[in-house]
Structure 1
Amino acid sequence: MSEADLKRALSWAAEEGWNPGLDDLEPFRTADPSGLFMAWNEGEPVACISGIRYGDDYGFIGFYICRPEHRGKGYGIAIWKHAIAYLGARTIGLDGVVDQQDNYRTSGFDLAHRNIRQSGIAMTDTPMDPRLSPLGQGIFPSIRDYDQDFSGGDRAGFLKLWCAPMVSSRRGFAFVDDGVVKGYGVIRQCDDGFKVGPLFADTPEIADTLFRALAGQAKGQTVYLDTPEPNQAALELAERHELSPVFETARMYKGQAPDLPLERTFGITTFELG
């Protein structure tokens, strides 16, 4: 994809109701510029997909859209096979919508767990806690190191833009105790409301503090949090803040599933890139 192609893909995602962030373009491009694909037929764009390489062992499929008027013509499966081939022998993850999960199984993907998108009105204030630190340049190396447990591979380039302190549509906080990062999260403005993601924390209490810090940046507005179903504490956090399930995906893997710390994962970064 060119930059214009990715803008088009983001607009398609908005039309599909996926609600992308207002400033997702540059972080998505940076994740793996060679892993964003657009299919064309006689000069007309008809389908898109992302196959992001996170190092030599892990990749992630997302952004899989075929335009409604071109479905059933083979374009979708063609670009799907192209992305799978691009990722090669890596373990491949994806977050599959309900009506596509059987198709993914036929391609060798197995269910790992469900993710539940929770939504509600942010009613909390950002706490005045000295352990909360706004994300910025100085703390980024510690955030990058902390994030490695959760991502399945190297995503430092993506993360630097995802956590960028000067982008008006997003805010981030780290929880730092005795000089050690014990959690962090980001909230970003989307076409509809605000999404929290990621939300990673060593304990449920830290996750709650971070969620209140992030949601407090959008008080009175709609917020979304994508919780992995195996993390009961994440589901309880959503319920405590009056968020309700509105959507679900299945985290599926082709190959050996990475050993990710779901008990510390309170919010998925993004369904498109993992």
Structure 2
Amino acid sequence: MAGEPSDDWTIRVMTRPDLDLAIDWAAAEGWNPGLGDVECFHAADPGGFLVGSLGTEPVASISVVRYGGAFGFLGLYIVRPDRRGQGFGHRLWQAGMDRLANRLVGLDGVVAQQDNYRRSGFALAHRNIRFGGIPHLEAPRDAGLRPVKPEIVDAVLAYDRPFFPAPRDTFLRCWLRPEARKAVALVRDGGVEGYGVVRACRSGFKIGPLFADGEHEADLLFRALASEAKGDAVFLDLPEPNAAAHRLAARHGLSAVFETARMYRGETPDLPLPRIYGISTFELG
């Protein structure tokens, strides 16, 4: 009966093939995941990805990744289109929220779902806007721009810490590895003044995160990272309140193509939005 999931409905932790399938679903929704995202998503919290199935047939996904002891991020909340409106998503949502009980929880939800998230205790913090375009850039020449190699990884992790509500070293150590992404830091007088990561996606390249002490530093890093696209499309997910990030996007010919609602259940964390020029991922925060 519509609205009542059937008795052969089960919820379990995803296997790696399940997560590959969920990423395919995300691509079908137009979310444009990165080609190498699965490994680092899974490394962040192997138990943080749930799949709902009818018998052996996966029909819904959700990620409920735990960071530290007090924060969690919810994403990849998808019900297969032919199974929507039958109650499966709601059951999986409840299981996911149970896993994040007693934590501050963040999410980047499509705007159309804001009212549903609000009914579940989430409040809007700000919008994130995806800008995209084809900037034709050469890598800038600046002695401070350095690839993130093992000798500066710890410094980059320390720089990242104020930009996220909880430590996320396990995820970042994977995200910063050079096999699937390029990470660049701006280092002056021995101190990190910003860093960013660019990765190939189903369509074009995404830059994220992009954190910097100022607009000039962010622009240097953006140009260094965007030059990796070599004429392909580049996407940047920026927090709407950061006016300097809007200027950066416009300066390089990017325009708004998509947006999400950054919402939290619990007190909104005090993050340095003026220095956040690109969030890491819509799926994991």
CA deviation string 1:122-181 (max 9, x = no partner): 21111111000101111110111111111111110110111102x1x4211000010001
In the alignment, which residue of structure 2 is the partner of 1:119?
Answer: 132
Q: Confirm or deny: 8 A CA contact 1:174 1:184 kept in the other structure.
A: yes
Counterpart of 2:94, as a letter, is K
Conserved? CA contact 1:52–1:60, under 8 Å: yes
Alignment equivalent of 1:246, drawn from 247, 257, 265: 257
Aligned to 1:222: 233
In 2, are the aligned partners of 1:144 and 1:159 still within 8 Å (CA)? Answer: yes
Q: What letter corresponds to residue 247 of structure 2 in structure 1? A: E
Structure 1 CA distance for aligned equivalents of residues 47 and 124 of structure 2:
27
Consecutive unaligned residues in structure 1, runs of 5 or more: none
Quick one: which amino acid aligns to residue 48 of structure 1?
Answer: S
The share of aligned pairs that are identical, in percent, is: 55
Contact 1:115-1:249 at 8 Å conserved across structures: yes
1:41 aligns with 2:86: no
Shift of 1:219: 2.5
Alpha-carbon contact 1:173-1:185 (below 8 Å) kept: yes
Instruction: Write the distance in 2 (CA, Å) between the matches of 1:195 and 1:3.
Output: 23
Which of the two has higher C-alpha Rg? 2
CA–CA separation in structure 2 for the residues paired with 1:101 and 1:228: 17
| Alpha-carbon distance in structure 2 between the residues aligned to 1:187 and 1:83 | 30
Matches of residues 30-179 of structure 1 in structure 2 within 5 Å?
30-165=43-178, 167=179, 169-179=180-190
Q: State the SS of the aligned residue for 2:151.
A: coil
Q: Secondary structure at the match of 1:191?
A: coil
SS of residue in 2 equivalent to 1:138? helix
Q: Distance in 2 between matches of 1:52 and 1:43?
A: 24
> Does residue 208 of structure 1 match 2:195?
no
Aligned-residue offset at 1:61: 0.4
Structure 2: where are the runs of 5+ without partners?
Answer: 1-13
The structural deviation recorded for 1:218 is: 1.0
Separation of aligned partners in 2, 1:190 and 1:263: 26
- What is the distance in 2 between the residues matched to 1:59 and 1:259? 16
| Distance of 2:54 and 2:263 partners within structure 1 | 30
| Correspondence list, 1:259-274, <5 A | 259-274=270-285
> 1:29 Cα deviation (Å)?
0.1
